[in-house]
Amino acid sequence: MIAIRTATPDDAGLIFGFVRDLARHEDAEDKLVATEALLRRALEERGVEAAIAEQDGQAVGTALFFHKHSTWSGWNGLYLEDLYVAPEARGSGAGRALLAHVAAVGVARGCTRVEWAVSDTNAAAAGFYRSLGAEPMPWRIYRVSGEALSRLAGE
């Protein structure tokens, strides 16, 4: 049976381990520059929230999310930053339970949507999300960071 609990800052080490596993899974471990300490601070400051999936008392996955606002709809939503389930627990319902938890948090807070990004190369995840009723949106994500961010900020 899968149980979902709200994470606390004391779970930062556990969650960061899952984040590291996700980076490995995405073949992007070299891009992971965050640290457990930064994650702990974000959890303490409520910049991000997290849920943990447990199976038979063992942590098997996590979802990290934060608030966002849509100026077009005028309503708040939640953005799912990461969803990760350990390989041995995939197919157990942990991912679905984590997303249901995030959805329930959003509904309880008056949010009208939960959104997230998925890699174009992750067909399994896209199929899973569609099975939940999620639809791909016709938008592309852009990012400015590093030197480009500093230059832009200096204008």
Q: Is the dihedral of CA 63, 12, 92, 127 positive or negative?
A: positive
Tokens 């984590």 belong to residue: 98
Report which secondary-structure segment, H or E, holds 136.
none
At 100, list the tokens: 């249901």
Cα 62 to Cα 5: distance, rounded to the nearest angstrom = 10
| Ordered DSSP codes for 24-83 | HHTT-GGG----HHHHHHHHHTTSSEEEEEEETTEEEEEEEEEEEE-TTT--EEEEEEEE
Length of the chain: 155
Q: Which residue in the list 79, 84, 129, 142 is annotated as catalytic?
A: 129
129 has catalytic annotation: yes
Active-site amino acid positions? 129
